[in-house]
Amino acid sequence: MNILPIVFIFLLFAHETSSDKESVAIFRKKTLSLLNDARRLIASGDIRKILEVINTGTFGSFNKLLDYFGPAKLMYKLVWNRQLELASYEYMYNVEENLFKVEKEEFNNIQYNGYIGFYWLGDLMKIVKVVLGFLPEKLQKKAGVWFDVIQSIIMLGMMAAFVPKTETIPRGKTFGPAELMFGKRFEIGCTSNLLYSLCFVKKLEYEKWFFEIGASCFGCPNECEFWYNDDGSYEEGDLCIPPRDFYAQQISERESVTESIAENGAIIYSTLFPIIMNLIYSFF
């Protein structure tokens, strides 16, 4: 008796297990956490303070470089957007051609469904772990404590690498990962595979620069992020909470996402039905 058809049919319907769903949820949570940590480094100006100490005044362009790293009066905390995640999934698996054939100019200048897209590292955590693996064991343990910080700094470095080398931002241009440096941006959605991630964000109105230099949270339209410590004390962070009406907007978008997924699911299973029936027939 040939059991391969039965195994294949089972895999077709069991491809999305609870562990898959958990891994997707972890990916969303971890991506948001790392990106927001990188944005906090900008908003707080902590990296700028270090660079100012390094600066000897001998580099004329160094002062402009400092503006890449804050501080920012208004830097929203990023939230996940399922519509943007769906757009990244559709582009990666339905639109995108061979990644290695993409022209350099188009690599981080993706326009799709009115959104801006860019490529990102696939699994940054694994990359950092591989790098740390070459260090002596004692240094690995010490570096492990700063693991998340290292990842956030790498992400910040990637953002800064795509910042235009101009006094103001050119009109009509997109800037790949540097799009995440816009203080007024607060939504993102990504899809990832083993090699790379693809993220999409919404277009913004033109700004002369990514953010306004100033003390963090001083430009928040609403409140600054905050949390309570174990001793009950209240502490403010460096990122502004998103606009109050963003959740209602996401609910509306989520409804369209659900309809799209339902339509795609019907297409997929209607396509698979003849294959499944053929397998069943061959089995019996």
Answer yes or no: is pLDDT of 203 > 90.
yes
In terms of domains, do 139 and 95 share one?
yes
Mean pLDDT of 76-84: 94
Answer yes or no: is pLDDT of 91 > 60.
yes
Q: Is residue 3 part of a domain?
A: no
In terms of domains, do 225 and 251 share one?
no
How many CB atoms are closer than 10 A to CB 199? 26
In terms of domains, do 281 and 141 share one?
no
In terms of domains, do 88 and 229 share one?
yes
Q: Is residue 172 part of a domain?
A: yes
Average pLDDT, the chain: 75
Answer yes or no: is pLDDT of 266 > 60.
no
- For residue 149, what pLDDT band results from cuts at 50, 70 and 90? confident
Question: For residues 8 and 279, what is the distance between their CA atoms, to the nearest angstrom?
Answer: 9
Number of domains into which the chain is organized? 2
Whole-number pLDDT of residue 151 = 75
In terms of domains, do 209 and 275 share one?
no
Domain range holding 129? 16-243
In terms of domains, do 126 and 267 share one?
no
Quick check: 146 and 153 in contact, CB under 8 A?
no
Whole-number pLDDT of residue 142 = 65
Which tens digits make up the pLDDT trace of 114-127? Answer: 999 988 776 655 66
Sign of torsion over alpha carbons 176, 177, 182, 186 = positive
In terms of domains, do 34 and 94 share one?
yes
Tokens representing residue 67 in the block: 């503006």
Q: Is residue 1 part of a domain?
A: no
Q: Is residue 7 part of a domain?
A: no
Percent of the chain exceeding pLDDT 90 equals 29
Q: Is residue 99 part of a domain?
A: yes
